[in-house]
Amino acid sequence: MSIIVDCKAVSKTYGEGEIAVHAVNAVDLSVEKGEFISLSGPSGSGKTTLLNMMGGLDALSSGEIIVDGQSINTLGKAQLADLRLNHIGFVFQAYNLIPVLSAYENVEFIMQLQGVAATERRKRAHEILVEVGLEGMGERRPA
């Protein structure tokens, strides 16, 4: 298998001097293609900070993160947005569904940004909803 995400001595520190908070301290982590991993720990232990750095949402204080063979440390805003669009997916705890869109439309949204044709988007959205146990609910809104 190939490594899809590689974190090398990744650290994130907020503040300076005596008030510095080390949210993530020298983490080494490799994730292989197709692998399923779980980060666990108490509140405030750095899980979300690490994930935000892996997705290019937060800058690293030190270390390096490589996603799909590309170091994200020096990417600009547009390149990081492209990384999130095409290589990294997020499922937030608050799930962040768009309330005015149907389940189909919420699932199709990123595919639309990626330029996937409408018929292919609908087909894939249907398959995804079936896979997660939401068959027959495609026209419903999140509320």
Here the tokens at position 72 are 């994200």
pLDDT tens digits, 55-74:
898 999 999 999 988 999 98
Domains belonging to the chain, first-starting first, are 3-86 (3.40.50.300), 91-143 (no CATH)
Q: Has residue 91 got a pLDDT over 80?
A: no
pTM of the model: 0.70
5: left (phi over 0), alpha (psi -120 to 50) or beta: beta
Here the tokens at position 57 are 């949402």
Question: Cα–chain-centroid distance for residue 18?
Answer: 32
